[in-house]
Amino acid sequence: MKKIGILFGMEDCFQWALIDRINSMKLKDIVAEPVQTGAVTMNKGTGYTVILDRISHDIPFYKGYLKNEVICGTQVINDPFWSIADDKFFECAMATKLGVAVPRSVLLPHNEHPIDTTSKSMRNLVFPLPWDEIFSYIGFPAYMKQHYGGGWKHVHKLESPEELFHVYNQTGRHLMMLQESIEFDSYYRCYCVNREHVLVMPYEPRNEHARRYQADHAPLSKALNDRIVKDTLTLNRALGYDLNTSEFAVRDGIPIAIDFMNWAPDCDKHSVGEENFNWVLEKVATMLVDRAQKPRPHVPFAPWQQMLLK
């Protein structure tokens, strides 16, 4: 019997629906269940053919567990190695090379020295930073946010240099990036499953959390929809994510990718709505079963390098 395991944290909707959906297919050699693990023994798997990871970004122990599972031949979605190596600033640089529009972005040094370092450890760093140059490249308003973050934590919209310094001086050891603010007409969030299925969902980040999927946008033109789908596929194929969301702010008819590092995207029926939920449930259930039946070899690095060489 092949087992599909789901590894999850506080969410309490998607994983149970997924387990029920897969088990309701009544496949004679496949069963889905919550992952169970204790302390991890090297090179000893825990018996899953496929694991869907929804939480290791918050629990370092699970990252270690999942990397050991990969060594043991388990198909882990998403790749636990690549999700550690990835970050939002790198993703922006990669996206521009692949022809996907992103906000102009700059990576800033930590405002405070990392633990156990002093200014001597950082002698390679230009000080003070060329702020005038940075401001003329990025402009205002601007966004300051973590280069490896999520959940809208430490995301700030800044209107002036004074505000920027005030916020930057409170960022401590967080690694921040500064980004042109995209003043958008409409905004879309896209599920991408198995690097092939895309669902474009109207989204309104200016609404309160519970109403963000109730956007009031005019219908999408075919050309814009096609471009968003194409850009979503390009990003997810390059980054090698099998379950992810990408967000686009549309300014003057151009979709600009804002956040596409969401490897455990919100799949709760109560926030995304029933229709979107049913779509992602079906696509992920099918992908997990397919991966259990036809395992793929682990690709050690996300495919972006090969795509850039083409």
Ligand X SMILES: Nc1ncnc2c1ncn2[C@@H]1O[C@H](COP(=O)(O)OP(=O)(O)O)[C@@H](O)[C@H]1O
Residue with tokens 């198909």: 75
Binding site for ligand X (CB under 6 A): 103, 143, 145, 149-153, 155, 179, 181-182, 205, 247, 249, 258-259
86 contacts which partner out of ligand X, Mg ion, none, CB within 5 to 8 A by kind? none
Report in angstroms how near the CB of residue 189 gets to Mg ion at its nearest: 9
Residue with tokens 């999942």: 66
Separation between Cα atoms, residue 176 and residue 172, nearest integer Å = 10
45 contacts which partner out of Mg ion, ligand X, none, CB within 5 to 8 A by kind? none
For every residue of 99-118, which 3-state class applies, written as one string?
Answer: CCCCCCEEECCCCCCCCCCC
103 contacts which partner out of Mg ion, ligand X, none, CB within 5 to 8 A by kind? ligand X
258 contacts which partner out of Mg ion, ligand X, none, CB within 5 to 8 A by kind? ligand X
**Alpha helices (runs of H) in 171-261, residue ranges in sequence order:** 222-239
Dihedral (CA of 45, 51, 55, 58) sign: positive
Residue whose beta carbon is closest to Mg ion = 259
- Reading the block at residue 103, the tokens are 């906000």
Report in angstroms how near the CB of residue 145 gets to Mg ion at its nearest: 9
Report in angstroms how near the CB of residue 230 gets to ligand X at its nearest: 21
Report in angstroms how near the CB of residue 18 gets to Mg ion at its nearest: 22
Closer residue to Mg ion, CB minimum distance, 260 or 277: 260
Provide the 8-state DSSP code for 5. Answer: E
Report in angstroms how near the CB of residue 181 gets to ligand X at its nearest: 4
- Reading the block at residue 278, the tokens are 């049913």
Separation between Cα atoms, residue 212 and residue 282, nearest integer Å = 22
Report in angstroms how near the CB of residue 104 gets to ligand X at its nearest: 9
266 contacts which partner out of ligand X, Mg ion, none, CB within 5 to 8 A by kind? none
Backbone angles phi, psi at 188, to 5 degrees: -135, 145
Closer residue to Mg ion, CB minimum distance, 14 or 203: 203
60 contacts which partner out of ligand X, Mg ion, none, CB within 5 to 8 A by kind? none
Q: Which of 295, 205, 278 is nearest to 21 (CA)?
A: 278
Closer residue to ligand X, CB minimum distance, 145 or 197: 145
- Reading the block at residue 157, the tokens are 């919209």
Binding site for Mg ion (CB under 5 A): 259
- Reading the block at residue 150, the tokens are 């999520």
